[in-house]
Amino acid sequence: MLAIGRALVRWRALTLPMAEPTNCAHPRCPARLAALAASVMALVFCLFFAAASPAQDLQSQLDQKKQQLQQKRDRAGVLSTTIQRYNERISALEGQVATLRNRVAIVGAELARKEAELNNDQRQLVVMRARLKRSLKALSERLVAIYKSDSPDMISVILNAHGFDDL
């Protein structure tokens, strides 16, 4: 923009009336033609630089945007690779989770089976303890009864013996 302003100042300087009057009143006077040519040149110069400057600005902006786009594409490629690695890791972890869930189901079924066995064994233990209690009571009563009964005589001992070891 500064170049346009300078060119405009030069153009005005060339087109302003001269301080010294010229004797040329003819439209094809060399001084007038030179001034006109200078004015046209200044105008062309201004237009050229005015058009070139925005074109350069637009080109630099375009180059900058292309560079930014390439950076974004590069970043997208990196992110895409990262996402792919995370997806692979997630798939592997999902497989491990499925395996662990199957293992939990198997162990849970085994636990239920063992708990059922434990409950059955506990019921049998209660029954066996009750039977042991009754047997101990009957044995105790029998021992007391034997103790209180008459003492055996010699003939019954000999007859009940199966050999010399029993005597």
Query: What span, in angstroms and rounded, lies between the C-alpha atoms of 145 and 97?
Result: 70
- Least Cα distance to 5 among 40, 38, 34, 45 occurs for 45
What is the residue-averaged pLDDT of the chain?
81
Q: Which two tokens stand for residue 113?
A: 């089976």
Checking if the pLDDT of 23 tops 60, the result is no
Find tokens 């662990």 and name the residue. 100
- Residue 138 or residue 18, greater confidence: 138
Q: What is the band of 1 on the pLDDT scale with cuts at 50, 70, 90?
A: low
pTM of the model: 0.41
**In this predicted model, what pLDDT tens digit does every residue of 113-134 receive, in sequence order?**
999 999 999 999 999 999 999 9
Q: What is the band of 106 on the pLDDT scale with cuts at 50, 70, 90?
A: very high
What's the confidence (pLDDT) of residue 123?
97
- Least Cα distance to 35 among 19, 13, 50 occurs for 13
59 to 22, 40, 66, 72: CA distances (angstroms): 47, 28, 10, 20
Ramachandran category for residue 78: left, alpha or beta (phi over 0 → left; psi -120 to 50 → alpha) = alpha
Find tokens 């499925």 and name the residue. 98
Checking if the pLDDT of 19 tops 50, the result is no
Query: What span, in angstroms and rounded, lies between the C-alpha atoms of 60 and 47?
Result: 20
- Residue 158 or residue 165, greater confidence: 158
What's the confidence (pLDDT) of residue 73?
92
Query: What span, in angstroms and rounded, lies between the C-alpha atoms of 100 and 102?
Result: 5
What's the confidence (pLDDT) of residue 154?
73
What's the confidence (pLDDT) of residue 7?
58
Query: What span, in angstroms and rounded, lies between the C-alpha atoms of 52 and 24?
Result: 37
Q: What is the band of 82 on the pLDDT scale with cuts at 50, 70, 90?
A: very high
- Residue 112 or residue 43, greater confidence: 112
Checking if the pLDDT of 64 tops 50, the result is yes
